[in-house]
Amino acid sequence: MSQPEGFIDKKKRDFMCKLHKSLYGLKQALRVWYDKLKSCLLQWGFITTTSHTSLFIKRNQASVILILIYVDGILITGQNNIELEEFIAKFSTTFSLKDLGVLSYFLGIEVLYDTCCLYLSQKKYIKDLLTKFEMLECKGIDTLMSTGSKLQKTVQGEQGYFLEDPTHYRSIVGGMQYLVLTRPNIAFAVDKLNQYVSGPTLRHLMACKRVMRYLKATQDYGIKFVSNGEVKLTGFTDVDWAYDLDDRKSIGAYCIYIDDNLISWSSKKQSVITRSSAESEYRALASDNAEISWLQSLFSELGVCCTEKPTI
């Protein structure tokens, strides 16, 4: 690395510093941290999954321990509380650890429990987003987008002028992308708005703020999970053929359920122009099938058996 300010050798200004260990903030730091964490977990009997490189599993005859890693945020769960406590104590001897107890908040996602259900929401994240863009006091609305007209790259009239500073638009759309994790109902709108970040106009900004007003009115919305013991994968897919007015590409979408619980979803413009609605439908179907195949692979590594064959 370059010589840090205040520690520059005046006689050797062109010299570089050789690091004996990675520093926080460097682009190599994340890789070094993951390699160290992974090597320790493998020594302790964990195995890494092929479906997700950040998911580690340790099995014995009576129970299983699962670890999910996101940078330095770690989720640990298992079937035996005593084994979990022993592992956390062992983990803290090697790494500096702050045990936050039962999962309630992780990466902006709020987790709530009751006797039979699990709820995921991002109410605090939405409030922070509204505050950041000075829309906390805006009037909420019940609809995401106007159905009267479709968005385009160029529009005639006052609303068609390009924004002098597009960074404001890009910041809002970038902030909303993370909300799709618990708000599948905004996936289409966010994907559509994301297509105009290179040259947003006033009309695009108005549509973007409309989504923010919808979020203001629906801050408490989230996802609910209920377990009934069954593991049946069901996928639904659809496509809007030649929807985009600029390039006539189709918008494909799918959603996948375990029993009645929505676990995976996507709304995305297809990469090629299809000549018929049937072709675009088959492409959307292929995306849904690929996601279900990945979920089946993940379930097999977790030791979860589907009670029925997947249905699309």
Total domains, the chain: 3
Full residue range of the structural domain in which residue 89 is found: 29-101
Token pair belonging to 226: 């209920």
Assess if residue 184 is contained within a domain: yes
Tell me: do 242 and 192 sit in the same domain.
no
The pLDDT of residue 157 is 60
Q: How far apart are CA 132 and CA 175, in angstroms?
A: 10
The reply to whether 236 and 294 lie within a common domain is yes
Do 36 and 124 reside in the same domain of the chain? no
* Helices of type H across 118-255: 123-132, 167-177, 187-194, 202-217
The residues that bridge with 48 in the sheet, in sequence order, are 56
pLDDT score recorded for residue 107 = 87
Per-residue model confidence (pLDDT) at position 15: 87
- CB neighbour list of residue 149: distance below 8 Å, 6 or more residues apart: none
Phi/psi of residue 226, nearest 5 degrees: -130, 130
pLDDT of residue 275: 93
Whether residue 233 sits in one domain with residue 213 = no
227: region left, alpha or beta (phi > 0 left; psi from -120 to 50 alpha) = beta
Q: Has residue 195 been placed in a domain?
A: yes
- What DSSP character marks residue 311? B
Answer yes or no: is 88 within a domain. yes
Tell me the pLDDT of the chain (312 aa) as tens digits: 777 778 788 888 888 888 777 777 777 788 888 888 999 999 999 999 999 889 999 988 778 999 999 888 899 998 888 889 999 999 988 888 888 888 899 888 999 988 889 999 999 999 999 999 999 999 999 988 887 778 888 766 656 688 888 999 999 999 999 999 999 999 999 999 999 999 899 889 999 999 999 999 999 999 999 988 788 999 999 999 998 888 899 999 999 999 899 999 999 999 999 999 999 999 999 999 999 999 999 999 988 888 889 999
Per-residue confidence (pLDDT) for residue 234, from 0 to 100:
95
**Tokens standing for 239?**
């496509």
CATH number at residue 61: 3.30.310
Burial state string for 26-55 with b = 16 or more CB within 10 A and e = fewer than 16 = eeeeeeebeeebbeebeeeebebbeeeebb
Count Cα neighbours of 38 within 13 Å in the Cβ-side half-sphere: 14
Question: Is 222 a member of any domain?
Answer: no
If you write DSSP's letter for every residue of 154-178 in order, what string do you get? --SSGGGSBPS-THHHHHHHHHHHG
125 and 212 share one domain: yes
Joined together, the tokens standing for residue 90 give 């062992």
* pLDDT confidence of residue 297: 92
